[in-house]
């Protein structure tokens, strides 16, 4: 079938809207009619070449849609099912999956790196050439053929544009607070970077009962949004931020500090906000070749914990339905995250808005 898709043909930051040819799903694959896909920074890194990927490629790694057809051997999904996309599919039967850490399952990692399907082919062609897909998804298109493991069935009463962001920014941010750090009630929290992920760390910390919850960001609009998501003390990111965090935490520093931007320089600032015995969780993904400089002696003397959080340490099968239930119960904000929706044809405008910092989350709707 012929579909419209946003293609990256060179790492120049330009998406081209093109008509491409999509094959039917093969063994273990499904055809999804995409309803919405989130505008996320990880795709932008691919678009500008700081995270190099094979091209031509269809990016887009967060999304939701409705199953239109299933290939042979698909058992968990049927046409009509509403699904959220999972950009880190898990095999369900390896050391990590069996150990309750499916976010670390590496079974599909080599396959996803190729941007192709299990048989080494692409299901998409453009001008006769195979097109790669990002994260096994390629969500910036009207339809996608995906592995069954990349789709999570969800309840049908959740608007699909909200389910699209739940699968990435929300699972990553809320999961970092709830799963990775396991923030305790009454604990003090400081979050550096209040974008899509940071706002969700804030709302995760709020759900955990933390207080105070301090948000640090250079962008004033993001700070006022941070308050809506549960931040008790929004602080501009200036030289005084660390001393103000100390003043708010009994002169000690925060129990839990999070860095959501993936910037080594900001990680080093966030480190200084920790109390002795505190825990710094690095949530934002820094550029592949970057290095963080943290004062080694202080880590030892103050018994500090530095840890990474990948995909919010989440088990998507368990956590995404749980997040959607919290949303349905009025306890989790999703709609407030979406600053603006775009049509696929407006994708370059959407990324210009992302880069200029005016979006908490932008979503492309089909
Ligand atoms: Zn994302
Ligand atoms: Zn596994």
Which of 308, 323, 353 is the C-terminal boundary of a domain? 308
pLDDT in tens, 113-156: 999 999 999 999 999 999 999 999 999 999 999 999 999 999 99
| pLDDT > 90? residue 357 | no
**237 confidence band (pLDDT: 50, 70, 90):** very high
**How large is the angle between the packed helices 220-228 and 196-207, nearest 10 degrees?**
30
Instruction: Name every residue whose Cβ is closer than 8 Å to that of residue 255 and which is 6 or more positions away in sequence.
Output: 183, 184, 187, 188, 189, 249, 275, 278, 279
**315 confidence band (pLDDT: 50, 70, 90):** very high
Q: Which of 222, 223, 164, 229 is nearest to 354 (CA)?
A: 222
Q: How far is the CA of 109 from the centre of ligand 2 (A)?
A: 10
Q: What percent of the chain has pLDDT over 70?
A: 100
The answer on 135 and 30 residing in a single domain is: yes
User: Residue 275: what pLDDT?
Assistant: 98
Mean per-residue pLDDT, 45-70: 96
Ligand number with the minimum distance to the CA of 105: 2
Ligand number with the minimum distance to the CA of 44: 1
Which of 278, 293, 308 is the C-terminal boundary of a domain? 308
Q: How far is the CA of 120 from the centre of ligand 2 (A)?
A: 20
Q: Which of 48, 2, 19, 124 is nearest to 345 (CA)?
A: 19
Helices (H), the chain: 41-48, 95-98, 109-114, 160-165, 171-175, 196-207, 220-228, 241-248, 264-271, 296-301, 316-328, 347-356
Q: Kindly state whether residue 41 falls inside one of the protein's structural domains.
A: yes
The answer on 257 and 337 residing in a single domain is: no
Between CA 258 and CA 261, with CA 259 as vertex, the angle to 5 degrees is: 150
Q: Kindly state whether residue 262 falls inside one of the protein's structural domains.
A: yes
- Residue 76: how many other CB atoms lie within 10 Å: 13
- Mean pLDDT, the chain, as a whole number? 96
User: Residue 50: what pLDDT?
Assistant: 87
**184 confidence band (pLDDT: 50, 70, 90):** very high
Q: Which structural domain, as residue segments, surrounds residue 27?
A: 2-167+314-365
Q: How far is the CA of 138 from the centre of ligand 2 (A)?
A: 22
Q: Kindly state whether residue 176 falls inside one of the protein's structural domains.
A: no
Q: How far is the CA of 361 from the centre of ligand 1 (A)?
A: 10
Ligand number with the minimum distance to the CA of 135: 1
Q: What is the DSSP letter of 135?
A: G
Residues 17 and 344 sit within 8 Å (Cβ to Cβ): yes
Q: Kindly state whether residue 173 falls inside one of the protein's structural domains.
A: no
The answer on 200 and 81 residing in a single domain is: no
- The SS3 of residue 256 is strand
User: Residue 288: what pLDDT?
Assistant: 82
The answer on 9 and 142 residing in a single domain is: yes
Q: Is 129 exposed, middle or buried (0-12, 13-18, 19+ CB in 10 A)?
A: exposed
pLDDT in tens, 96-116: 999 999 999 999 999 999 999
**How far is 190 from 91, CA to CA, in rounded Å?**
35
Which CATH number do you get for residue 10?
3.90.180.10
- 267 beta partners: none
pLDDT in tens, 246-276: 999 999 999 999 999 999 999 999 999 999 9
Q: How far is the CA of 113 from the centre of ligand 2 (A)?
A: 16
Q: What percent of the chain has pLDDT over 90?
A: 94
| pLDDT > 90? residue 358 | no
The answer on 25 and 120 residing in a single domain is: yes
Dihedral of CA 314/320/321/322: which sign?
Answer: positive
The answer on 131 and 38 residing in a single domain is: yes
Instruction: Look at the chain and report how many structural domains it folds into.
Output: 2
The answer on 159 and 43 residing in a single domain is: yes
Mean per-residue pLDDT, 310-323: 95
């Amino acid at each position: 079938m012929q579909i419209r898709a946003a293609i990256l043909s060179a790492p120049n930051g330009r998406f081209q809207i093109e008509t491409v040819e999509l094959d039917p799903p093969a063994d273990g694959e499904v055809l999804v009619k995409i309803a919405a896909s989130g505008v996320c920074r990880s795709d932008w890194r691919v678009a500008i070449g700081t995270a190099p990927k094979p091209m031509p490629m269809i990016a887009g790694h967060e999304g939701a849609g409705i199953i239109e057809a299933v290939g042979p051997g698909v058992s968990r999904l049927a046409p009509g099912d509403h699904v959220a996309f999972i950009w880190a599919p898990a095999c369900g039967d390896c050391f990590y999956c069996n150990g309750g850490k499916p976010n670390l399952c590496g079974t599909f990692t080599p396959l996803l790196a190729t941007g192709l399907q299990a048989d080494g082919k692409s299901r998409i062609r453009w001008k006769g050439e195979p097109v790669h897909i990002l994260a096994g998804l390629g969500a910036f298109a009207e339809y996608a053929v995906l592995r069954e493991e990349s789709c999570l069935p969800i309840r049908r009463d959740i608007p699909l544009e909200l389910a699209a962001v739940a699968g990435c920014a929300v699972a990553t941010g809320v999961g970092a607070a709830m799963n990775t750090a396991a923030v305790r009630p009454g604990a003090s929290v400081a979050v550096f970077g209040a974008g899509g992920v940071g706002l969700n760390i804030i709302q995760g910390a709020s759900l955990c009962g933390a207080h105070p919850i301090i948000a640090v960001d250079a962008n004033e609009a993001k700070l006022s949004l941070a308050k809506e998501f549960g931040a008790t003390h929004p602080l501009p990111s200036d030289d005084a931020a660390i001393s103000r965090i100390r003043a708010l935490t009994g002169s000690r520093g925060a129990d839990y500090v999070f860095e959501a931007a993936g910037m080594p320089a900001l990680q080093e600032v966030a480190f200084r906000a920790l109390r002795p015995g505190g825990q710094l969780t690095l949530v934002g993904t820094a550029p592949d070749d970057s290095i963080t400089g943290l004062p080694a002696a202080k880590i030892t003397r103050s018994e500090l914990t530095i840890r990474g959080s990948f995909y919010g340490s989440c088990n998507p099968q368990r956590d995404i339905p749980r997040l959607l239930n919290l949303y349905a119960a009025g306890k989790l904000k999703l709609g407030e995250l979406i600053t603006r929706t775009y049509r696929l044809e407006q994708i370059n405008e959407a990324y210009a808005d992302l880069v200029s910092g005016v979006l908490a989350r932008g979503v492309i709707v089909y």
